[in-house]
């Protein structure tokens, strides 16, 4: 990541958060909260925790696999889909089950066709609080991913676990951010997201949630233009005021295709070539439906088993798209095909969004989680001497840290509390980091923009926002937001003056 991509004021916030934690650890030494506070301090140095949530069978585990680049999360009907499962980076491969307060148990696992299969060793899914899969994987270095059982699932206890993980009654939220999958928006989704955002630092806040319109290939029943339809639906959802209040953005992703793209095998490409070699019309007829694809043209050279396997990995849309791309020579090799499919599945766009909205803001999101948790300890420990001091420090950081002010303005904009001319509001949202925290994103410049260009644009923006902040005709809320934008511009200029080009 370039130097400019960091949050201008994040280091100060993280230092202040560390200081609050150090004081809290001191004050609550010897109390039952000491361990939890030490864990919170350590968490600041650990990867960001992102949960993948949504209704039953929304495609959560499949999408998680696409993000990791391996088929680790189970996507069948097995027991493990009902257990909250953490996927974290580490030096060795291991799976541990957390059961009550006892020591985590090591579990045995196997891999078949790239798919991880965990043996619960006689434990029932209901007994297990969570599974932790440690897996050396590049994608997990920056982020720990948490797979959750579907909300609204048949098993109430499984749904309850997801709820407890994301919206706990007492403890801190274990996840710093959430990718929320929706197939189409459901009343239950809105309720869930509201509860997730119901917290002190910014209420309600779309800052730590991204919406994914999942299983996007199914929206136009697998037709080749499915992704274009899905993009239209996602953009409508993203403009819906109810949705804008809850998630930052909604992107369509065909998760199954994405998962297959990142784990594509030469054998699968060989099978697709058999279909690509057919005359166009014959291939189209064969792919009219899943049934037809499996049971007609026995002379094709693909067994029923192979065809079923292709459908399970690609879906009808994926088989159609991939075979068309091979036929039209858009992709010649397995590597090229994988790249094209990943792009068209929407995976790359989601990854860009995760990078600019979550990873570049990771310090702010982690500090937010940590301070919320300390505030909770303070709330339940009113009698412990020193509590007042800790409480005052938490409040001071939460109220004054610039990144939190940016988040607050962002929430205000999303909730419609701050309003103004459309282009002014759009610029405000960008300047305070709503489209990503990097300087070029805030100034709407190309990623390779040079220092002089960035500086000139930052100075312009500073002047504009100073004028708006000071103009007596500016509405009160917008003037407050404009002062935050001024501070963001000053932060960018301070960063730019320290960067070397
Ligand atoms: N066509 C299509 N099928 C998908 C997609 N994503 C997932 N599926 C299929 O939908 C089923 C459920 O997928 P999962 O990834 O297990 O969904 P989940 O949300 O994790 O399900 P639970 O954990 O049981 O709630 C599987 O059969 C997947 O192959 C997609 O993008 N397109
Ligand atoms: Mg699942």
For the ranges 14-18, 173-177, 232-236, the one whose mean pLDDT is highest: 14-18
- 196 C-alpha to center of ligand 2: Å? 20
Ramachandran region, residue 202 (left: φ > 0; alpha: ψ -120 to 50; beta: rest): beta
Ramachandran region, residue 424 (left: φ > 0; alpha: ψ -120 to 50; beta: rest): alpha
Nearest CA owner, ligand 1 atom 4: 256
Structure confidence at residue 490 as a pLDDT band (50, 70, 90): very high
pLDDT at 175: 85
Structure confidence at residue 3 as a pLDDT band (50, 70, 90): very low
What SS3 state is found at 450? coil
* Same domain? 287 vs 247: no
Residues contacting 449, CB < 8 A, separation 6+: 440, 443, 457
Q: Is there an atom of ligand 1 within 6 Å of 149 CB?
A: yes
User: Looking at the domain assignment, is residue 498 inside a domain?
Assistant: no
Mean pLDDT of 252-264: 97
User: Looking at the domain assignment, is residue 187 inside a domain?
Assistant: yes
Q: Which ligand is nearest to the CA of 311?
A: 1
* Same domain? 140 vs 250: yes
User: Looking at the domain assignment, is residue 369 inside a domain?
Assistant: no
Alpha-carbon distance 36 to 375, whole Å?
Answer: 13
Mean pLDDT of 50-58: 89
**Which has the higher per-residue pLDDT, 118 or 358?**
118
Alpha-carbon distance 443 to 433, whole Å?
Answer: 9
Of the candidates 218, 206, 211, the one whose C-alpha atom is nearest the C-alpha of residue 236 is 211
- 95 C-alpha to center of ligand 2: Å? 17
Q: Is there an atom of ligand 1 within 6 Å of 84 CB?
A: no
**Which has the higher per-residue pLDDT, 371 or 464?**
464
Instruction: Kindly tell me if the per-residue pLDDT of 378 is higher than 50.
Output: yes
- Which of 217, 256, 320 is the pocket-test mutation for ligand 1 (most atoms within 8 Å of CB)? 256
What SS3 state is found at 258? helix
CA distances from 64 to 166, 180, 346, 365, 476 (A): 17, 12, 14, 20, 43
- Return the structure tokens found at 42: 């350590």
User: Looking at the domain assignment, is residue 34 inside a domain?
Assistant: no
In ligand 1, the atom with minimum distance to the C-alpha of 217 is 32
Q: What is the CATH number of the domain that holds 129?
A: 3.40.50.300
Domain count, the chain: 2
Alpha-carbon distance 57 to 220, whole Å?
Answer: 18
User: Looking at the domain assignment, is residue 52 inside a domain?
Assistant: yes
Neighbour tally for 224: CB within 10 Å: 12
* Same domain? 269 vs 221: no
Domain that holds residue 138: 48-258+348-360
Mean pLDDT of 370-374: 88
pLDDT at 341: 97
User: Looking at the domain assignment, is residue 496 inside a domain?
Assistant: no
- Tens digit of each residue's pLDDT (9 = 90 or more) over 423-481: 999 999 999 998 888 899 999 999 999 999 999 999 999 999 999 999 988 888 899 99
- 455 C-alpha to center of ligand 1: Å? 46
Q: Is there an atom of ligand 1 within 6 Å of 62 CB?
A: yes
Contact 177, 209 (CB under 8 A): yes
Q: Is there an atom of ligand 1 within 6 Å of 490 CB?
A: no
pLDDT at 205: 53
Alpha-carbon distance 223 to 415, whole Å?
Answer: 36
pLDDT at 8: 46
Neighbour tally for 73: CB within 10 Å: 24
Residue 33 phi, psi (nearest 5)? -90, -10
Nearest CA owner, ligand 1 atom 32: 215
* Same domain? 208 vs 149: yes
Across 99-147, the runs of DSSP E, i.e. the strands, are: 105-112, 115-119, 130-134, 143-147
pLDDT at 372: 85
- 252 C-alpha to center of ligand 2: Å? 18
* Same domain? 249 vs 268: no
* Same domain? 297 vs 248: no
Q: Give the lowest-confidence range in 65-74, 175-184, 275-284.
A: 175-184
Alpha-carbon distance 151 to 162, whole Å?
Answer: 7
In ligand 1, the atom with minimum distance to the C-alpha of 74 is 16
pLDDT at 152: 65
Host H or E run for residue 96: strand 94-98
CA dihedral over 469, 472, 474, 478, signed as positive or negative: positive
Q: What does pTM read for this prediction? A: 0.85
Of the candidates 360, 394, 405, 402, the one whose C-alpha atom is nearest the C-alpha of residue 18 is 394
Mean pLDDT of 39-67: 92
105-112 and 115-119 beta bridge pairing: antiparallel
Q: Give the lowest-confidence range in 77-81, 159-163, 354-358.
A: 159-163
Instruction: Kindly tell me if the per-residue pLDDT of 6 is higher than 60.
Output: no
Contact 253, 218 (CB under 8 A): no
- Tens digit of each residue's pLDDT (9 = 90 or more) over 152-179: 655 566 666 666 666 555 555 678 888 9
User: Looking at the domain assignment, is residue 467 inside a domain?
Assistant: no
* Same domain? 110 vs 185: yes
Burial bucket for residue 308 (CB in 10 Å: 0-12, 13-18, 19+): middle
Torsion of CA 91, 93, 94, 95, to 10 degrees: 120
Please state the length of the chain. Answer: 501
* Same domain? 268 vs 355: no
pLDDT at 243: 80
pLDDT at 411: 74
Bridge-partner residues for 96, per DSSP?
A: 106, 132
* Same domain? 120 vs 230: yes
Last residue of a domain, one of 298, 326, 360: 360
- Tens digit of each residue's pLDDT (9 = 90 or more) over 270-295: 999 999 999 999 999 999 999 999 99
Instruction: Kindly tell me if the per-residue pLDDT of 96 is higher than 80.
Output: yes
Q: Give the lowest-confidence range in 182-186, 200-204, 481-485.
A: 200-204
pLDDT at 27: 95
* Mean model confidence pLDDT for the chain: 87
């Amino acid at each position: 990541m370039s130097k400019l991509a960091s949050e201008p004021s994040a280091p100060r916030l993280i230092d202040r958060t560390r200081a609050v934690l150090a004081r809290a650890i001191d004050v609550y030494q010897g109390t039952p909260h000491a361990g939890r506070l030490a864990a919170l301090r350590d968490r600041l140095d650990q990867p960001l925790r992102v949960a993948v949530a949504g209704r039953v069978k929304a495609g959560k585990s499949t999408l998680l696999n696409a993000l990791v680049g391996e088929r680790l999360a189970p996507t069948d009907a097995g027991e493990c889909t009902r257990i909250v499962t953490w996927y974290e980076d580490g030096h060795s491969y291991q799976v541990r089950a957390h059961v009550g307060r006892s020591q985590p148990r090591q579990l045995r696992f196997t891999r078949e066709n790239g798919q991880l299969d965990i043996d619960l060793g006689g434990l029932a899914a209901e007994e297990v609080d969570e599974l932790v899969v440690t897996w050396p994987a590049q994608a997990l270095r920056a982020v720990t991913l948490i797979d959750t059982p579907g909300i609204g699932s048949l098993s109430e206890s499984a749904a309850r676990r997801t709820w407890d993980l994301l919206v706990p009654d007492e403890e801190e939220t274990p996840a710093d951010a959430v990718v929320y999958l929706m197939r189409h928006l459901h009343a239950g989704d809105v309720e869930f997201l509201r509860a997730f955002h119901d917290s002190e630092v910014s209420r309600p806040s779309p800052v730590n949630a991204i919406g994914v319109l999942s299983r996007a290939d199914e929206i136009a029943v697998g037709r080749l233009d499915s992704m274009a339809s899905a993009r239209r639906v996602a953009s409508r959802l993203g403009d819906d005021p109810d949705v804008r209040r809850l998630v930052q953005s909604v992107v369509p992703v065909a998760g199954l295709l994405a998962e297959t793209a990142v784990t594509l095998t030469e054998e699968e490409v060989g099978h697709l070539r058999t279909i690509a070699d057919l005359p166009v019309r014959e291939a189209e007829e064969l792919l009219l439906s899943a049934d037809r694809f499996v049971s007609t043209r026995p002379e094709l050279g693909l067994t029923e088993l192979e065809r079923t396997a292709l459908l399970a990995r690609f879906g009808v849309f994926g088989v159609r798209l991939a075979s068309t791309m091979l036929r039209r020579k858009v992709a010649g090799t397995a590597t090229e095909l994988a790249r094209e499919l990943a792009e068209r599945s929407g995976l790359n766009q989601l990854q860009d969004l995760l990078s600019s909205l979550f990873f570049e803001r990771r310090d702010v999101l982690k500090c937010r989680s940590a301070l919320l948790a300390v505030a909770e300890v303070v709330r339940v420990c009113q009698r412990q001497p020193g509590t007042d001091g800790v409480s005052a420090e938490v409040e001071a950081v939460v109220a004054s840290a610039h990144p939190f002010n940016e988040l607050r303005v962002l929430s205000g904009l999303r909730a419609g509390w701050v309003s103004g001319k459309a282009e002014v509001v759009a610029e405000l949202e960008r300047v305070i980091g709503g489209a990503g925290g990097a300087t070029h994103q805030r100034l709407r410049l190309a990623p390779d923009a040079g220092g002089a260009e960035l500086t000139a644009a930052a100075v312009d923006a500073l002047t504009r926002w100073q004028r708006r902040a000071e103009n007596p005709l500016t509405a009160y809320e917008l003037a407050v937001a404009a002062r935050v934008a001024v501070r963001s511009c000053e932060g960018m200029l301070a960063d730019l003056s320290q960067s070397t080009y």
